[in-house]
Amino acid sequence: MEYTYLGRTGLKVSRLCLGTMNFGPQTDEADAHAIMDKALELGINFFDTANVYGGWGKSNRKGTTEEIIGRWFAQGGGRREKVVLATKVYGDMGDWPNHSRLSALHIKHACEASLRRLQTDYIDLYQMHHIDRNTPWEEIWQAMEQLVREGKVLYVGSSNFGGWHIAQANEIARQRNFMGLVSEQSLYHLAARMIELEVIPACQAYGLGLIPWSPLGGGLLGGVLKKQNEGRRASENMQKRIEEMRPQLERWEAFCAEMGEEPAAVALAWLLHQPAVTAPIIGPRTMDQLTGASLRALEIKLSEEQLKTLDEIFPGYKTAPEHYAW
């Protein structure tokens, strides 16, 4: 396994991040525990979850995923100590006022609830799941600073923020002599490159590690033309997107076949070649998904010519404003 620093911190994390969103809704607890054990065996030390995970599929109860992870930690064997644990706050956790978003009250209650479910006394990386335009940054940072003082949170990150949000958050944190954001978790893959305009430059400027979610585009980049009749790839929305992008996908899958590599592995490898990227999130539902293309991605080194070809198939963005101005 390869390791890197999370943004400007001294925290070392694996170049692949284990996403746990399927634990509960699609993957039962025994299988989830086996996948986490295998991830540690493979050297993956970076695990990502969220307080709202579990609120769909078979479990259909928010908090289920954190509870599954907590019971895995409770088995001991150094599991908690070996894991850099990331979870999130923002989502609606109840019907009562202040059970969602980023008020100081909700941040306090949500953090303490996550700690109970996770059966731990601290969170390594506490991520804001979305921007809250109705709560001032002074209030948010005051709440986060308190959690850091109490030892309940070590680092703070963001998810789904714009470049302006990252700049605003870290400038206000700087005024308070607080470390501020150290990571951003964004939608990013070959077919979704909009964050190259401003989010990636902001991450680079402020020293944030970038953690791409949905690195395969929900299966779009995983050899979808051969698997149109399988699972989520057969959904109406996915079928529509396949037809809209069929020429690109045909070129993409031919490119991967010429390399002799699985499309999923190449898609992950491409992300690992991009600036600011710390670790794409892989969200296996099964053991095979963990041990297959994800690990192979670490071994694939793309040449300048290959990267240029991928840019031709899936055009990206220049840094703003040059992309749209002189």
Query: What CATH code is carried by the domain that includes residue 77?
Result: 3.20.20.100
Minimum mean pLDDT among 29-33, 98-102, 206-210, 232-236: which range?
A: 232-236
pTM beyond 0.75, yes or no: yes
pLDDT at 238: 85
pLDDT at 140: 98
126 is catalytic: no
Rounded distance, CA 51 to CA 55, Å?
Answer: 9
Rounded distance, CA 144 to CA 191, Å?
Answer: 34
Instruction: Tell me the average pLDDT across 143-161.
Output: 98
Q: At what angle do helices 29-42 and 64-73 cross, to 10 degrees?
A: 60
Q: What is the β-pairing status of strands 3-5 and 12-14?
A: antiparallel
Catalytic residue among 3, 53, 90, 317: 53
DSSP class of residue 318? P
pLDDT tier for residue 235 given thresholds of 50, 70 and 90? confident
pLDDT at 234: 57
Structural domain that includes position 89:
3-218+263-302
Structure-block tokens of residue 272 = 């690992």
In a domain, 128, yes or no: yes
DSSP class of residue 274? S
Asked if pLDDT for residue 16 goes beyond 70, the answer is yes
In a domain, 324, yes or no: no
Rounded distance, CA 13 to CA 124, Å?
Answer: 11
Give me the number of domains the chain comprises. 1
In a domain, 60, yes or no: yes
Rounded distance, CA 134 to CA 211, Å?
Answer: 25
Instruction: Tell me the average pLDDT across 90-106.
Output: 95
pLDDT tier for residue 230 given thresholds of 50, 70 and 90? low
In a domain, 86, yes or no: yes
In a domain, 292, yes or no: yes
In a domain, 234, yes or no: no
In a domain, 273, yes or no: yes
Instruction: Give 295-316 pLDDT, tens digit per residue.
Output: 999 999 999 999 999 999 999 9
In a domain, 98, yes or no: yes
Extract long-range pairs of 306-313: CB within 8 Å, 24+ residues apart.
306/259, 307/270, 307/273, 309/255, 310/190, 310/255, 310/270, 313/190, 313/248, 313/251, 313/252, 313/255
